[in-house]
Amino acid sequence: MTNQLKTYPLKDWGHDIQNPLIIAGPCSVETAEQLDKTVEGLAKQGVKIIRAGVWKPRTRPNTFEGVGSIAFPWIQEAKEKYKVKFAVEVASPAHVEEALKNNIDLLWIGARSTANPFTVQDIADSLKGVDIPVLIKNPINPDLALWIGALERIHQAGITKIGAIHRGFSNFNDTHFRNSPMWQIPIEFKTRFPDIPLINDPSHICGKRALIPQVAQMALDLNFDGLMIESHFHPDSAWSDAEQQLRPEDLGLLLASLKTRQVFVDDLAFASQLQSIREQIDDTDREILELLSRRMGLVEKVGEYKKINNVAVFQIERWKKVFQTRPEWATALNLNPEFVKELYKMIHTESIKKQTEVMERHLS
């Protein structure tokens, strides 16, 4: 089933890996004037697809929940005046109906909706027989299956122009990002569905302007197909997400500064060099695994001795020492000590598991 997921036809829109699809626009439509000024600025920067929230899913009540349907005449006017397409978030069949009635070109499903299969199914049912591109944001929780499931529901409704948006995942204590990118999840998505366009939303990942360039560049380096970025003619007075929106001029500067990379390389010398380095990496990985296997063998041996001498598996003093020395050794070897700390947490968990198995084997 999953293999049958069709793709959003990027080529039809004149985009490829070197010309990423750019969707930009305000977090929310606020007033006719705000929309006009913002779209005017974006059109000047060459943006062809505008995002605009009409109905806003807010975490807390009594915050601005979008202006609703009064936005559509303003959107229609901006479409005609600046020759742009519009993308709007839909979270219910009523939203779908209104968006379609009002000539919206693209729909997207927000992160909170993707997390709820009932909502996604309702939206899917309301899209039967409709031919419109639908972009599906990742769910707020880091669950790849839930994200894929939402794509499948929309696809099963007959929508063939499907794309995915990576907007990061809710977190409790990541003070750097508003939503942790957890890049391994979109990478896994891209590996499984190489043909489905994957768009990065650095605005909702970062939560603040200053971080956006590095995340957007990271996405392009990972072969994302496009970017969705929030932009407002006067971000500081925005009614929602003020800290993460960029002025259209700044968005233009950002777009000009991003580097796209070549994915398929024809140069033979380059290809053989790459091949040779990859072979060395394969050999090194094999050595790492042989060493790990030797380490686990030693761990089992220690388990045997602990068992014979009736000593508990977990010994805090020993663990403290391991946990202190390994990051120090790592630093001396020019490795990131934080990375090595994480690695040793996993190695330690596995070692405890192995020793517990040894203990149980002896008991039976």
Question: In whole angstroms, how close is the CB of 112 to ligand PEP at the nearest point?
Answer: 6
Question: In whole angstroms, how close is the CB of 342 to ligand PEP at the nearest point?
Answer: 27
CA 73 vs CA 27, 160, 236: distances in Å: 18, 28, 25
DSSP-derived 3-state class of residue 50: strand
Choose among ligand PEP, Mn ion, none what residue 95 binds, the Cβ cut-off being 5 to 8 Å by kind: none
CA 292 vs CA 108, 311, 335: distances in Å: 45, 24, 18
CA 250 vs CA 25, 44, 45, 153, 201: distances in Å: 13, 12, 10, 37, 16
Residue nearest to Mn ion (CB): 27
Report if residue 110 touches ligand PEP, rule: CB under 6 A.
Answer: yes
Residue nearest to ligand PEP (CB): 110
Q: Return the range that interacts with ligand PEP (CB under 6 A); candidates 71-79, 107-115, 152-160, 266-274.
A: 107-115
Question: In whole angstroms, how close is the CB of 205 to Mn ion at the nearest point?
Answer: 11
Of 210, 252, 248, 254, residue with least CA distance to 40: 248
Q: Which is nearer to Mn ion, 140 or 159 (CB)?
A: 140
Q: Return the range that interacts with ligand PEP (CB under 6 A); candidates 106-114, 147-155, 252-260, 300-308.
A: 106-114
Sole binder of Mn ion in the list 13, 241, 303, 330 (CB under 5 A): 241
Q: Return the range that interacts with Mn ion (CB under 5 A); candidates 130-138, 233-241, 262-270, 344-352.
A: 233-241
DSSP-derived 3-state class of residue 21: strand
Choose among Mn ion, ligand PEP, none what residue 307 binds, the Cβ cut-off being 5 to 8 Å by kind: none
Choose among ligand PEP, Mn ion, none what residue 137 binds, the Cβ cut-off being 5 to 8 Å by kind: ligand PEP
Report if residue 68 touches ligand PEP, rule: CB under 6 A.
Answer: no
- Asked whether 50 and 40 are in contact (CB, 8 A), the reply is no
Start-to-end Cα distance in the chain: 45
Question: In whole angstroms, how close is the CB of 27 to ligand PEP at the nearest point?
Answer: 5
Provide φ and ψ at 180, rounded to 5°: -65, 130
Angle, CA of 50, 180 and 327, to the nearest 5°:
145
Report if residue 137 touches ligand PEP, rule: CB under 6 A.
Answer: yes
Q: Which is nearer to Mn ion, 27 or 87 (CB)?
A: 27
Report if residue 140 touches Mn ion, rule: CB under 5 A.
Answer: no
- Amino acid (one-letter) located at 28: S
Residues 13-52: x where in contact with ligand PEP by CB under 6 A, - otherwise, as a string = --------------x-------------------------
Tokens found for residue 342? 């994480």
Torsion of CA 133, 70, 65, 21, to 10 degrees: 30
Angle, CA of 248, 253 and 259, to the nearest 5°:
130
Question: In whole angstroms, how close is the CB of 198 to ligand PEP at the nearest point?
Answer: 14
Instruction: List residues near ligand PEP by CB under 6 A.
Output: 27, 53, 57, 110-112, 137, 167, 204
Instruction: List residues near Mn ion by CB under 5 A.
Output: 27, 241
